[in-house]
Chain A
Amino acid sequence: MVGVGIEIEKLCVGYDKNRVLHDIDLEINSSEFVALLGSSGCGKTTLLKSLSGFIKPMSGQIRVNGSDVAQLPPEQRNMAMVFQSYALWPHMTVRQNVGYGLKLRGMSKEQINCKVDELLVLLGLADFGDRKVPNLSGGQRQRVALGRALAVDSPILLLDEPLSNLDARIRLSMRHEIRSLQQRMGLTAVHVTHDREEAMVMADRIVILNAGHIAQVGTPLEVYEQPKSNFVATFMGAENEIALNVERANGTLSISEQEAVKAASLSVSNEIGDGGVNWQATAAGSVRGRFRSSAAHLLADGTVPEGHLALAGRVTQLSYPGGVFRYEIESAGQLYMIDDPCRYAVGDAVTICVPAGGLHLYSEAA
């Protein structure tokens, strides 16, 4: 079974007068794993429900293999879905749950048994075939739900936060299991999640949604290293914010000295990984900078290496989440979270040091 491509064009979805999705354009390639990422209420689940047919869009097209399915009922779309609640039928056994789609397709008992056995072995459920759903653990239910979706050989797999109800440890192994199954079978997968890390490790491409609009589409590396907007940067973990004054000349930025910030000259990035600043602002002048707590480090004295943004501050709080210390630094009335392996005490004067490659710059208004 080989996946098929999906093209979404100008899709608008809403309930009553309430618009949830605005003019969504998205192309999903055959056999691609796409994660829809966003905080709750951003419209990611609505987009998945529009794909699966449980919500009729107000306008726009959803083309599968070239033909528009936007107005078809769910049973005619041939997209297998794994629900967040698993939605397993409690009055049926594991075997009946997995085989239901096959029964609907008019397969014979032997064929169904054969296919179901194969899937149960694949998912490590061989001994549970005759159990009723209420007698299964969360992880087992999730496998049954996955088995039910895989059984019908649908080219498109829709995953609605399927891992959010699992224990942290099982969740980590299921990520890889689902990903490898999808790759082995060549399925086109659309995965809804609010978990950034989950999206990063599972997906080929990530679609970040914000208030019913697509904020950015890109590979995990792209959305992490070059967030196109202030929103995406924040969502991808660049929580520290700083107002800067910059001049731009050719490939370099010069940051002017202000309060705690030292003057510096930084190179602008041309491609990911070249160590330059991610410049997304429209014009020089006063811009908004963002950086991750893990991208920066602390210095005890003021000798800042070349190509770093430096700002003087004082430790106000510290914690130890594991591996490094997490410091809250106060600098010119602003608070920053910085990770650093070296030990400082509360009240120590330090310098926050942000390498050019860890800095993202946006226009003030955006």
Chain B
Amino acid sequence: MDDEDFKTPEEGDIVKSPKERVSFRRNKGQPTTMSVESFTHDPIKFNSTITTEKEKEKESSSIFKSIMTLKPPSDITNFVVRSFGGTGEKEKLVEQVKVEERILTPEEEEDEFILSRLKYHAKSTGELSLKKAGTWFTELSNGFQSAKNSFMGKSDDADKDPMDWEFWGKVINDYDNIIASNPRQFRQHLRKGLPEPIRGMMWQLMSNSKSESLEEEYMGLLERQTRLEKIIRRDLARTFPGHEFFKDPEGPGQTSLFNVLKEEQAFCVLVRLMNDFDFRDLYGPKMIGLQVRNYQFDKLIAEQFPTVFKHLEKQDIKSTMYASQWFMTVFAYRFPLEIVFRIFDIIFAEGSEAVLRFALALIKHNQDTIVTLEFEKLLEYLKEELFEQYIEDVNRLIVDASQIKISKRKLDLWETEFIEILRQSSPEVIELEKMKSENRKLMKSYKLLEQNYELLNREHIDLVNNFIEEKDKCERQFDRNEELQEQVNGFKKILTGDRKHAEHQVQSEMDELAQKNIELIRKNADLQDHVHDLEQQLLDARMALANVENEKEALRMEVVKLKAQMK
């Protein structure tokens, strides 16, 4: 309930990155391996680490193979990342099987059913970059907050209408994960009706309507004139003539009705309803989809309420006479809008076939009256009064409808059967219609593929750029290596070459020195001899000097003696 519930998720919450390892190899020289350790779905934000290690040489084409076979994360559960939707036959089969099982076991299978529906829509449609998704997410959070605030402000006793703000807050905050982990809780809340203030947001989430390409398309369409504007205007006043909100030609009801295709969000949801929920088939030029629905509906009544069926048959009442308006307007033609909204809640979760469950619930609930009425009264009753008993208790209608079981396999069978009948009566029409529908589906998958391709392409380009950059780095590194190696080799060469020369030189220098040394020693010896001689000579000289001195002293003494004698 506090603000913490509404913080935007962190990047890491959104993207789960599997370990992907890809090798890039040079086609010459020493191999370089680039290993992408953590590879996220977002082409802009992916971390790569470069390591170099020794590897054998391989063909350069393997680089591109590796890039092209990069696999996107397979376990993405958050709604923001759903670009790679595989909606092939296999998945359809799986879905069918699930729906079939649902009839055998109740609760879990219904959970599965809801999940498979929602996942189907998630996979088949979304294309939203992280950045956009983030903005959308903030929008949702803010929208929820303000809806909650204004609601809280209005009603003084919140107990009277206990809306589980906490649950819905979580759902808005983290739609995919909450639904994936609590399908049953979601189902139970859904059956109580989506809370009015957040219904618009929830419908967008459930139909996964946010899409950049749709928004672009929408902006393009806005600028174009349509020759259908006249027809749209003609129908404005008579779409909900009985409903107060839509009565005033200048009022908000009719204005918004006119703008329904001029409101970005409504436009996106409408497109989803038409294409992904298959409503488009109902409104085609020949309304094949509607005829199929009616046929399925007849078969279902015959199967589940044979008494009613026999009575209707006896009264010659066809489902086209009363049920067309149910299926074409999702009950909005006569039913109060409060009921219609609730029915839409379920359709967004379970798909357009849910209308059949509501139609059958209405028949079931009124069967006792139906079998007593005759043609005119009966037709009027079917068209105008079936819902009367539910007006006071919409929840009961939802519960009743949820208890009607319909086999998807049979629906498909009946569809094929009916198309075959039509083909026999007017083959061209059905062929044309079928081709149109197929064309549309192909167009859809083409667009999806194109988007995926574009995304892949972008990723590819990013990867290639990255690769080229890294390769460039490696190349430079390699060049530098080679340069250094060369230098080393040069040094080595110089070293080994010079050493012998130096040794030789040193040897000869040593020899020379030794020779010199010997000579010096000899000279030294000579000099020593010479010194010795000189010392001897000095000694002799000193001796002689001493003798002379002695003689001199003796003489001096004699002189003194003589002097004294003389005196």
Report whether chain A binds chain B. Answer: no
**Chain B residues in the interface with A (C-beta under 8 A):** none
**Chain A residues in the interface with B (C-beta under 8 A):** none
